[in-house]
Amino acid sequence: MSLRFTVPGEPHAWERAQQQGRRKFNSSEMTAAKKTIAQYGDLAIRELGESPSYPKNGKFRLECWFRIGVLKRSEPDLDNLLKLVGDALNGVVWRDDRQVVAVLAYKVRTLGHPRTEIEIFSERE
C-alpha cells in the first residue's frame, strides 16, 4: 500500500529544542511545520478511504523530495528535513518513526513552488 501527498511551502528542518532556564521548548515555526505535515498526512489517509487508525503497525519505506525555493539563502541539512517528517507522522502514519526501515530522499532547488513531496510504502507484518 502506498500513501502519497505534497506539503506546500518551504521545507522546514528539525531543530534542537531551545532552553530557557530548566524549561525546554520547540520553536513555534517547527511546531507549526510538524502540525502541517501531520495534517496533510491525515488528509491523504482519509482520501484513500482508510480509517484514521491506518496501519501504524509494521514496517515502512519513506521517500521524500524536498523542493527548496531558489531565493532561500541557506539550505537545511537533509537529515534534519527527514527527521521532522518522521517525527511529524508519529501517531498519524506509524506509531513511531523507528518503524521506517528504508529512506530515499532528495533535496533540490526549485524555481517553482517550494514543497515537500512524501510517499510512504507500508509493509504490514
* Per-residue pLDDT at 73: 77
Domain spans of the chain, in order of start: 2-123
How far apart CA 105 and CA 82 sit, in angstroms, is 8
pLDDT above 70: residue 110: yes
* Per-residue pLDDT at 14: 86
Inter-CA distances, 6 with 47, 48, 64, 67, 124, Å:
13, 14, 10, 11, 23
DSSP assignment string, 12-44: ----PPEEETTEEE--HHHHHHHHHHHHHHHHH
Which of the 8 DSSP states describes residue 76?
A: P
How far apart CA 113 and CA 118 sit, in angstroms, is 15
pLDDT digits (tens, 9 = 90+) for 15-72: 766 566 676 656 888 899 999 999 999 999 989 886 666 668 899 999 999 999 987 7
> Cβ distance 62 to 100 under 8 Å?
yes
User: What CATH number was assigned to the domain covering residues 2-123?
Assistant: 3.30.1330.70
* Per-residue pLDDT at 51: 65
* Per-residue pLDDT at 25: 56
Which of the 8 DSSP states describes residue 98?
A: G
pTM of the full structure: 0.87
Q: Are strands 59-69 and 115-123 parallel, antiparallel or unpaired?
A: antiparallel
pLDDT digits (tens, 9 = 90+) for 68-105: 998 777 889 999 999 999 999 999 999 999 999 999 99
